[in-house]
Amino acid sequence: MEILPKTVRIHSSGPLRGSILPPSSKYHTLRYILAAFLAPGVSTIHYPAISDDTSILLQACAQLGAGVKIENQSDGRQLLSIRGTGGILRALPNARIDVGNAGAVLRLLLGICTVSPEDITFTTPYPQSLGRRPNADLLQVLAQLGATVESQTGEGTLPIKIRGGQLHGGKVRISGKKSSQYISALLFLAPLLKEGLEIEIVDKLTSASFLDLTIQILEEAGISVLTEERYRHYVVAGMQQYQPREYVIPGDYPSAAALLAAVAVAKGEITLANLQQGDTNGEANLAVFSEMGVQITRTENTITARSYEPIHGIVIDGNQTIDSVPVISATTCFANSPSRIYNVANLRLKESDRINDLATELNKAHCHVIPSADSIEMHPDGLNGIEGGVELDAHADHRLIEAFVVVGLGSKRPVTVVDAFHIAKSYPRFFDDLIDLGAKIERVY
């Protein structure tokens, strides 16, 4: 992977034109890797996401007994082969797994690592980011199933030590309010337990589309999941065997949303390929940008986005587009009317506080952003526009980097983003792709 700049400076740009193949979906990649890791034999994954999260999970799988082989293809993309464990983990005694800044990797591994007879300690070098994110709801359920769990705080923050031993299945109740990743973790674990699991979600479920994705991938891997009530009650029979499969990763909609935001602000016409039809999160993203006034047309898995007129303010429930809320918010700073994005309280528990940190930094650029407990409002000044001319701190958060780049594309004066290398978490080619489209981005190493 190329060395990414520590700082970037974004100049007013436009119009943008060209065709881009967005990165492969991180969300599909992580789940397919886990399915392959838990199956016997060899599974192959075409076009995995090339990102920090992928590298972190593959390293963890190797530590836990999987064989991992990566081949570079002639088109620059990759083929990943994984010789799985069949659900029998082979961690070394007192193993330590560094999960970087990857919350999904942490939560999903916490679940399946309860079948390990050895102590496994999860750590992070990002104490103010992943290190502050809570896991208590998941850890309490894992302890109820017979795992030994140790965390230094009542919120279940890292470092976390976990060991399986005498696990059992049965019925569990868990909150889905803070993260759907807790439920995904239990669903991946359930087939490995003799009794399986009956999972009841006791309150509202945030980021529900990612739970749908987990179930889809489990079923592709040969695991039967019974949905008694969607987003509320699931039953997974025990002693099911993950099957080795061949998987193909589609494009990543949140990354595509950052490009849609760029063309909405800078204007122009772009084409984005390999965006799977029928994806819940993806269709919700496209609907939001269409409502703003971006003209979007689709031909099978390719979309074309055109933006030449002023964009409109919106009022939306952000739950279905949760990872795109930062770039959507940045885009609406250039709208001709106010916007409000609500039902996004769990944004405070991401790599950064994506409500307060986003609002604080955008206001430095002279956007008018008002945060609240579970929403964020944008009140653009249509007459004066956005001044820019400031340095913005992305708080080690790839989604904030994308948002601040979008603001820079439309500001009067350049916007500088520090710690820009954290874009590698999901979209290492983000700056290159925008430059190819005509954006004026200066790398400062």
Q: pLDDT in tens for each of the 445 residues of the chain?
A: 568 899 999 999 999 999 999 999 999 999 999 999 999 999 999 999 999 999 999 999 999 999 999 998 877 788 999 999 999 999 999 999 999 999 999 999 999 999 999 999 999 999 999 999 999 999 999 999 999 999 989 999 999 999 887 899 999 999 999 999 999 999 999 999 999 999 999 998 998 999 999 999 999 999 999 999 999 999 999 999 999 999 999 999 999 999 999 999 999 999 999 999 989 889 999 999 999 999 999 999 999 999 999 999 999 999 999 999 999 999 999 999 999 999 999 999 999 999 999 999 999 999 999 999 999 999 998 767 899 999 999 999 999 999 999 999 999 999 999 999 999 999 999 999 999 999 999 998 7
Confidence at residue 2, expressed as pLDDT on a 0 to 100 scale = 66
Sheet holding 440-444, edge to edge: 391-393, 415-418, 7-11, 440-444
| Topology of domain 26-248, CATH | UDP-n-acetylglucosamine1-carboxyvinyl-transferase; Chain (3.65.10)
Helices first, then strands: H and E counts in the chain: 12, 24
pLDDT at residue number 1: 52
N-term to C-term CA, the chain = 15
The reported pLDDT for the residue numbered 383 is: 66
Nearest alpha carbon to residue 316 among 333, 303, 331, 328: 328
pTM of structure? 0.92
Architecture of the domain delimited by 7-23+251-444: Alpha-beta prism (3.65)
Bridge partner residues of 233 (DSSP)? 200, 229
Nearest to 95, CA basis, from 189, 192, 161: 161
| Burial of residue 383 (number of CB atoms within 10 Å: 0-12, 13-18, 19+) | exposed
Cβ 272 vs Cβ 305: under 8 Å: yes
Same fold, 7-23+251-444 and 26-248: yes
Query: Can you tell me the distance from the alpha carbon of 381 to that of 338, in angstroms, rounded to the nearest whole number?
Result: 9
Are 91 and 64 spatial neighbours (Cβ–Cβ below 8 Å)?
yes
| Distances from the Cα of 168 to the Cα of 136, 174, 200, 419, angstroms | 20, 17, 17, 44
Q: Which of 119, 279, 323, 433 is catalytic?
A: 323
Strands (DSSP E) along 301-390, which ranges? 302-307, 315-317, 339-342, 369-371, 375-378
317 as an active site residue: the answer is: no
**Helix residue spans in 119-207 (DSSP H):** 136-144, 181-189
What residue spans define the domains of the chain? 7-23+251-444, 26-248
Instruction: Please give the Cα distance from 285 to 223 (Å, whole number).
Output: 29
Closest CA relative to residue 305, chosen from 251, 260, 265 = 260
